A and B are shown apart, each in its own frame.
Chain A
């Protein structure tokens, strides 16, 4: 079942269009930065954007900061919202379930397909933005005397130097954390997708939840509920670039997303398990 869902995901051209759009935004920003060399004022603009002018090897971090707040959640919500409701709208859900396929397994397979999409999308953003950063913004002097082109050490948020190998590890950690963060979005959209036959409705419902959460995160009056909001720890991946790494919010963010996944997947299962399938 999982293999089928993964194959279905990677055979759809729209998935590649979405990933290309995700990669395009950092590329456009890099063009402007490389041609004007005007960094955002200190403390303003996207995270890491002022730092990438001195070393483009850090551009993947800046690119993730650009796509994470809006583009990536929208993409995940649209695809996850389509996962069950899209099958229902297309009239394929009935045939899918006629096969000896458990509904719980179908839900889990749909969620795993979302994980695969997020991993693929973020990896694509990291790779393309790394190449964009290194080629367009430059990396300063090579530390290997030109034998092998490696970027020089980049500066962490704490002012310490991060070697290329360590940077790769921290980017891997970032990819993992953002994937977990997007699991919550996928779970919300997947649950809503079991409630309605409208893929658009499910995606909009998930996005409305996220926008509400983002608004409350910035509201001092909502301080008491902030630790439980799905977007509260989204930016905690930035803490991978501090020295030493600040694990506090990363751990809490990952834990919170797993709670959301457990609850919403449970709710999706409770609703979908014996739901009448009319289409």
Chain B
């Protein structure tokens, strides 16, 4: 071998060794052993449940592969579950937080402060404001207990989902809350955003549930959920996964939480984003059971002035069922009913009904049914039901909704 060729070989060896060393770095980091958590699954779930005030700031990404088509006025909701979402969050407490949904060349931010919820959309150059009155009502429950309820006219529990709901901390707590009573199992720990997280797996006992398992990894010290994966029955990969990539468990600086400066010179638009603006608010007009599932109890309280309140006073939806198989039914206003039905019919399958019409969209995780009762033109009552239940069950729901009268 000539000297020149030997020299060339030596140099290529050096380059190859450098490339190999660089390529090995991620694998070596991923292969670090994870210390096992001594926390049992039930204790971890309890700790997650109590983590609602843990301050943090971080960056998270969610991946949804649900494959739901865009429905009129609900496109932003379905895209949350069918695409990748980048999130940046600062959380100082339940009444002081900010979550930005980051997109190429634009940003949608949600800010919560003492005055309410501010939503900033750069692409639309638009800011909306939902006031939170903070008005307290001391009330008595039917069994005589005294409770305090907060009147929150804008930030309804039944509001439409938004990007901030995909944060692992929020989604994990919410889903574990829904899954109360479902079977638990411990998962191997994993390192998430630099934290050795403990894991728990929840499975659904209901035969109509589409959820194969819900996996949540959380910080064993604070209970803050760090990674959430929702896998459909018989599926190998998660349909919806969200996790923190960067996380610092500290109280965010006030400057990061301050509402956008543009909020100062933009006219307030009242309760923007409140589904009550869009949906018919008539939960009392819905039946107590659908397809054998009972409506969730509406706690009734009375404030000192004698005014009676139910949960539905703050929510335009009605929820049925228990555990992970809960589904929500929404009465669509007559003026949008036909549009929503047509959009659903473009993608879905018709349901055989005795009167009216219904169409079902079944994905591996979520099923949606849109049902319209008898009537002409814009006068047909329209209902939309959705939940993590299978198509067979949602078909039965559609049959009952199509014959409802409003």
Residue contact B125 to A51, C-beta cutoff 8 Å: yes
Residues of B within 8 Å of A54, CB to CB, are 125
- Whole-angstrom distance from the CB of B221 to the nearest CB of chain A? 24
- Whole-angstrom distance from the CB of B251 to the nearest CB of chain A? 15
Give A223 to B238 CA distance when docked, in angstroms.
Answer: 14
Against B, the Cβ 8 Å flags (1 = close, 0 = not) of A219-250 are 01001000000000001001100101010100
**A47 with B106, Cβ < 8 A, contacts A42-B123, A273-B11 known:** yes
B11 closest partner in A (C-beta): A270
Interface residues of B in 244-261 (CB under 8 A from A): 245-246, 255-256, 260-261
Give A48 to B310 CA distance when docked, in angstroms.
Answer: 46
Against B, the Cβ 8 Å flags (1 = close, 0 = not) of A145-157 are 0000000000101
Give A158 to B4 CA distance when docked, in angstroms.
Answer: 58
B258 closest partner in A (C-beta): A160
**A173 interface hit (Cβ, 8 Å):** no
**A278 interface hit (Cβ, 8 Å):** no
The 8 Å CB contact of A46, one of B63, B105, B127, B262, is B105
**A119 interface hit (Cβ, 8 Å):** no
**B15 interface hit (Cβ, 8 Å):** yes
The 8 Å CB contact of B104, one of A238, A259, A263, A267, is A238
Residues of B within 8 Å of A248, CB to CB, are 59, 245-246
**B124 interface hit (Cβ, 8 Å):** yes
**A267 with B15, Cβ < 8 A, contacts A159-B120, A248-B246 known:** yes
Residue contact B246 to A270, C-beta cutoff 8 Å: no
- Whole-angstrom distance from the CB of A192 to the nearest CB of chain B? 15
**A20 interface hit (Cβ, 8 Å):** no
Number of interface residues of A (CB under 8 A): 34
Interface residues of B in 222-281 (CB under 8 A from A): 245-246, 255-256, 260-263
**A43 interface hit (Cβ, 8 Å):** yes
Residues of B within 8 Å of A235, CB to CB, are 104-105
B88 closest partner in A (C-beta): A246
The 8 Å CB contact of B122, one of A46, A51, A246, is A51
B104 closest partner in A (C-beta): A235
Residue contact B123 to A50, C-beta cutoff 8 Å: yes
**A65 interface hit (Cβ, 8 Å):** yes
Residues of A within 8 Å of B125, CB to CB, are 50-51, 54, 155
The 8 Å CB contact of B260, one of A42, A43, A160, A273, is A160
**A144 interface hit (Cβ, 8 Å):** no
A239 closest partner in B (C-beta): B102
**A274 interface hit (Cβ, 8 Å):** yes
**A277 interface hit (Cβ, 8 Å):** no
Against A, the Cβ 8 Å flags (1 = close, 0 = not) of B105-116 are 111010000000
Residue contact A238 to B105, C-beta cutoff 8 Å: yes
B255 closest partner in A (C-beta): A244
A-B contact pairs, 9 of them (CB 8 A): A43-B106, A158-B120, A159-B260, A161-B262, A220-B63, A248-B59, A248-B245, A273-B7, A273-B11
